[in-house]
Every structure is written in C-alpha cells, then in structure tokens.
Amino acid sequence: MEFIDPALLSYCESITSPEDTLLKKITRETQAKVLMPRMISGHLQGKMLELFVKMTQPKTILEIGTYTGYSGICLARGLKPGGKLITLDINDELETMVREFFEESGLANQIDYRLGNAREIIPMLEGPFEFVFIDADKFFYSEYFDLVIDKVPKGGIILADNVLWSGKILVEEGQKVDKDTQAILDFNQKVQDDPRVENILLPIRDGVLMARKL
C-alpha cells in the first residue's frame, strides 16, 4: 500500500502536524483488535482530509466507509460550526468501538453514524453533499459515484481512496486482472471521462482520486 520510501515517509510525517492522543489511540486499538488494520487512513491522509475540509468549508460531508472512525474524526474536525458528517458503514461489529471514539472526540453531535448497505442508504439521503469521501467496497466504487454525483453541488469535492490499489492498476498486456482491480481501473477511467468533473489522482498512501464538480 505504501509506495514511498520508508525514510521519506517518516520525514513527511515529521513535517506534518502531529497526531493527537485520540488518533494515536484509534490507530493502536485498530491494530490490536481489528482485522486488516492497514485499512485505517493514518497520519498523512487523516491530516490531508482535515485540511481539505477546512479549506472547502462544506456544510455536509458524506463518508462511505467508516471503518474504525479515524477518517471520520479527521473530516469532522474540519467542519465549521453547525456542519455535519454523515458516515456509513456495513460492519456493525465495530459499532461500539466507533461510537466510543466519536464520543471521545467531542464531535458526536456533528457525526451521523449509520449502519447498513450504502447502496441502499444513499438514495434515501437528500443532500446536498459539498464533500464526499469514498472508502468502502472497491467493487462498488463506480456505483457509489453514480449515486452521489447528482447530490454534489457545483464546486463540490469527491475523494476516493485506494485508487492505486497497491500498484495492481499497472496491468501488463495479457495479464489476468481480479475483479476488484478491474473495478478500480473502471472507476478511475470513469471519472477521467466524466465531463461533469475535473480531477487529479494524488499518489498519497494508496492513491486518492479527487474530483471537483463543474
């Protein structure tokens, strides 16, 4: 997942505003108690999300994929007073842990944490969402995009995580591609070809695709 040299990554983190006690706790408990802990956003990406939100000042954020709450807290920290984060996840086994982290963050009153299938929940949400962060089942990325694009106003931002997919998107001719890799390839090209957005793929962590609604 990490493409940058470890020494360079360490340097980047040293020149990034540090994680506080709560974010370090979430990372530690995720690594100790949860399967596939590398799915956590982590220091650099978390601060990036927080700063992006502070710069764009959205009224409402939609996060698709809560996991253990690290990214949600970073997103919510960037909200202006009265702003709201709606975060969706299908894994109810993490609910108690996540709600405790949200309470500890002091931002629980601005976070609407919903459990269930995002593909069923999103059509019921009114929006608008000035900021969307997609970080859930990679196979459904294109569907998530289709579900949210009309709920994002002009100038709104959609971010999608893991779009470099640990380098698997670099496919050689004749190479067999698994379904998740193909889904990411299809999603990346879909966004690239969509005239409703302007976009950039950032090689941060496992790749973040940013699209701005025109």
* Average pLDDT of the chain, as a whole number: 94
User: Higher pLDDT residue, 205 or 124?
Assistant: 124
Mean pLDDT for the stretch of residues 45-53:
96
Tens-digit pLDDT profile for residues 105-159: 999 999 999 999 999 999 999 989 999 999 999 999 999 999 999 999 999 999 9
Query: Which pLDDT score is estimated for 36?
Result: 81
Domains (range + CATH), the chain = 6-213 (3.40.50.150)
Tens-digit pLDDT profile for residues 166-183: 888 998 888 888 999 999
Question: Which amino acid, residue 174?
Answer: G
Tens-digit pLDDT profile for residues 10-28: 899 999 999 999 999 999 9
- Asked whether residue 7 carries a pLDDT value surpassing 70, the answer given is yes
DSSP lists the bridge partners of residue 61 as 85, 131
- Asked if 197 and 191 count as a contact pair (C-beta separation under 8 A), the reply is yes
Query: Which pLDDT score is estimated for 1?
Result: 58
Q: Give the predicted TM-score (pTM) of the model.
A: 0.94
Band of residue 81 on the pLDDT scale cut at 50, 70, 90: confident
Q: What is the DSSP string of 146-157?
A: HHHGGGSPTT-E
- Asked if 87 and 57 count as a contact pair (C-beta separation under 8 A), the reply is no
Residues 6+ apart with CB under 8 A from 206: 1, 2, 3, 161, 162, 163, 164, 165, 166
The secondary structure of residue 38, as a DSSP letter, is G
Query: Which pLDDT score is estimated for 26?
Result: 96
- Asked whether residue 4 carries a pLDDT value surpassing 90, the answer given is no
Query: Which pLDDT score is estimated for 27?
Result: 94
Tens-digit pLDDT profile for residues 121-130: 999 999 899 9
Mean pLDDT for the stretch of residues 190-211:
96
In the numeric block, the tokens 């970073």 are attached to 74
Residues 6+ apart with CB under 8 A from 173: none
